[in-house]
Structure 1
Amino acid sequence: MKKLVLVLLLAVSSVSMLAQKPKVVTSDKTGWHKIGETTVDFKNESDQILVLGADRFASVKIKVTDAPINLISFDIFFENGEKYSVTEGQEIKIPAESKTVALGGEKSIKSVSFRYQTLGNSTGKKAHVELWGMKTNADK
């Protein structure tokens, strides 16, 4: 019985740590769309945004507000199993954004995970990080 309780507690804590409400993109209009967002704390140094729905984008960028971060890198995972890694090593002051990363045509994004370092600030604010994607609809 103790083993069952331990396994259940472990499973619940793992799911709660990994649980994230996926962003459902409903618009397929040409232009920039917010894919997802998160608030960065000073404990975790990585995050993942899951993408569902109209998930085809030609390029992506990350916007930061409220507090600066050092964006180390991010990985874009596509529906077809491919992965595209971007090394940034860039301090993003506020409000600002990363460089735009072209994906070589519109591709279906499954998720994006990024690694960062939170930077101290005098107000103790947490950074608000948004992932944006560009739809070109070039294949329509």
Structure 2
Amino acid sequence: MKKFILMLLLAVSSASVWAQTPKVVISDKDGWHKIGETVVSLDKETDKIIIVGANRFASVKIKVTEAPIRLESFDIFFDNNQTKNVKIGQEIKHEGETAVVDLGGEKNITKVEFYYHTIGDDKSKKAHVELWGLKTNPNK
């Protein structure tokens, strides 16, 4: 019985890890790049984007379309095990975006986690949230 429960827990945890498909960034050109996107709904209050590939960025920003959200904060995870918490605490209207967040030079981002509240009661409207990153390529 213990073996069955252990296998069940392992299967459930594996399913949740693989449910989030990593976003692969291919381009290393200077300028703004869409790193990844997610659709948020009324039944969740957190979301994440996992990033692999050409993941060095100097700045990031969040764009919101389709429906507004109240973005409380987001955490940026770097490959050196450091994390940057960005407090927002404001409503981002659809077709809106946050201010640019400077990372203090290009850094490898591995994941970004969003903490938000959906606005409104219409469950058919889901906010489309995009993560954008700025590449400056200072070493070229």
Long gaps (5+) in structure 2: none
- C-alpha contact 1:67 1:121 (8 A) present in aligned 2: no
Aligned to 2:40: 40
> Aligned runs of 1:1-140 on 2, under 5 Å?
2-19=1-18, 20-122=20-122, 124-140=124-140
CA deviations on 1:18-41 (whole Å, 9 max, x unpaired) are 431101101000111111111112
Query: Counterparts of 1:34 and 1:136 in 2: how far apart (Å)?
Result: 14
Query: Counterparts of 1:123 and 1:72 in 2: how far apart (Å)?
Result: 20
SS in structure 2 of the partner of residue 35 of structure 1: strand
Query: Counterparts of 1:95 and 1:50 in 2: how far apart (Å)?
Result: 23
Aligned residues: 139
- C-alpha contact 2:42 2:123 (8 A) present in aligned 1: no
What amino acid sits opposite 2:99 in the alignment? Answer: K
CA separation of 1:18 and 1:43: change in aligned 2, threshold 3 A: farther
Q: CA deviation at 1:116?
A: 0.4
Long gaps (5+) in structure 1: none
CA RMSD of aligned residues (A): 1.4
Q: CA deviation at 1:68?
A: 0.7
SS in structure 2 of the partner of residue 38 of structure 1: strand
Q: CA deviation at 1:96?
A: 0.8
Identity of aligned residues (%): 57
Task: Using structure 1 for the length normalisation, give the TM-score.
Answer: 0.92
What amino acid sits opposite 2:62 in the alignment? Answer: I
- C-alpha contact 2:41 2:123 (8 A) present in aligned 1: no
Tell me which moved more, 4-13 or 30-39. 4-13
CA separation of 1:80 and 1:94: change in aligned 2, threshold 3 A: same
Structure 1: 4+ residue segments shifted above 6 A: none
What amino acid sits opposite 2:104 in the alignment? Answer: G
Q: CA deviation at 1:47?
A: 1.1
What amino acid sits opposite 1:11 in the alignment? Answer: L
Query: Counterparts of 1:75 and 1:110 in 2: how far apart (Å)?
Result: 11
- C-alpha contact 2:72 2:117 (8 A) present in aligned 1: yes
